[in-house]
Amino acid sequence: MKKVSIITISYNNAKGLLRTIESVVGQTYTDYEYIVIDGGSTDESREIINSFSDKITYWVSEPDNGVYNAMNKGIAVAKGEYLHFLNSGDSYASEDVLQKTFSREYIEPLLRGIQICDYGTHQIKWENLGNRQVTLYDMFVNTMLHQATFIRRDMFEKYGLYDETLKIVSDWKFFFLTILGGEHTAFLDLDVVIFEMEGISTNKTHGEYHLEERRQVIKELMPHNLLTDYERLRMLEQEAYIPKFIKSNRLIYCSFRVLYKLFKPIKIHLL
C-alpha cells in the first residue's frame, strides 16, 4: 500500500492542471499514487494528462455530476493510507512537502497543515485551526481546510463519501462528522499547499447559498436540543466582531441587537 493517494480533479483548466501535475511529480517523496479525475474537458487537459501518463497511476476524462462526485470517483479507486485532494490550479508549497509530512508515523486520522492563500496580488497564510485539538465549536464557526488536510482513507469507510447533494460545503460536512465522532487531528507546522482563491467555496457570489447549505447540514447532524446552543454560539461569534464604539454606547448597542433580531428571520445579515 502506498502511503498517500493524491487526487486531482479538474475541468477545462489546462493551465492550472499543468501547474498542479508538475507540483506533484516534482515531489522528492515517491511513496504515493497519483489519481487525476477530469470532468471531460474540451481544452488541452487530456493532452497534458497524456504527456504525464507514466507519472499518473490512474486517470479518467468523462462528464461528472460536480466537484464532490469527481472527488468520490477518486476515493473509489484510491489505495493509499492517507488521501490528499490537490485540485487543478493548486500546488504544493515546496518540493519536500510530502517528505516532511510522512517522515514520521501518525495515529491521528486527520493531518492539518498550513494553507497559503494566493489572491494573485498577494498571499496570506491560514494555519488550519493551529496547534491544538479541533473542537465542535470550531466546526460551528469555521472548518478544517480541505486542501491542506491529509485524510486517512478509512475515515471515508467510517463516515461515508462526500455528500453529492451539497454543492459547496460537503467537505465541511465530512469534517464535521469526524469531529462529532470524536476523531483526533494532528497539526503539521508546515506550509502544505498554495491555494488559488477562485474556487466555488471562496466565491463571494455564492455566499448566501454557502450559508444555506451550512444551516441545512447543522439541522441534519445536530440533535434538536443542541440547535439553540448552536445559535447562541453563533451569535456570540458575531458579537465578537461588533465594533467597540457600538458596544460602549448602550443605546446604540441595544438598537443594534433589536435590528439584528428583526432582520434575522428574513435572512438579512448585519454582519
Q: Domain of 110: which CATH number?
A: 3.90.550.10
pLDDT (tens digit per residue) in 29-71: 999 999 999 999 999 999 999 999 999 999 999 999 999 999 9
Number of domains in the chain: 1
**Residue 220 located in a structural domain:** no
pLDDT (tens digit per residue) in 172-231: 999 999 999 999 999 999 999 999 987 545 555 567 888 899 889 988 888 777 777 667
What grid cell was written down for 267?
A: 435572512
* pTM value surpassing 0.75: yes
Beta bridge partners of 114: 191
pLDDT (tens digit per residue) in 237-252: 566 555 554 445 555 4
**Residue 84 located in a structural domain:** yes
**Residue 160 located in a structural domain:** yes
* pLDDT of the residue at 83: 98
**Residue 252 located in a structural domain:** no
Chain position carrying cell 477545462: 12
pLDDT band at 266 (very low <50, low <70, confident <90, very high): very low
**Residue 243 located in a structural domain:** no
More confident residue, 26 or 139: 26
Position 168 pLDDT exceeds 50: yes
How do 110-118 and 58-61 pair as beta strands? unpaired
Whether residue 153 contacts residue 82, with contact meaning beta carbons closer than 8 Å, is answered with yes
**Residue 262 located in a structural domain:** no
* pLDDT of the residue at 210: 87
**Residue 257 located in a structural domain:** no
Range of the domain at 137: 4-205
**Residue 196 located in a structural domain:** yes
Rounded Cα gap, residues 31 and 29, in angstroms: 6
